[in-house]
Amino acid sequence: MAGRLSWSPSRGDMIWIDCSPQVGREMKDV
C-alpha cells in the first residue's frame, strides 16, 4: 500500500484497480 501512496493519484488508481478488480469496478463507475 505504501507503494501506491508513492505513485501519482492517476497511476495509483490504475494499480489499485489492477490489484482489486472489485474496487476498481466501483471506481470506474464513479
How do the pLDDT tens digits run along the chain, 30 residues long? Answer: 455 555 555 655 655 555 566 665 665 665
Q: Write the Ramachandran bin of 7: left for phi over 0, alpha for psi from -120 to 50, otherwise beta.
A: beta
> pTM higher than 0.85 for the full model?
no
Amino acid identity for residue 20 in this structure: S
In whole angstroms, what is the distance from residue 2 CA to residue 26 CA?
22
pLDDT number for residue 24? 57
Q: Which three cell numbers stand for residue 4?
A: 501506491
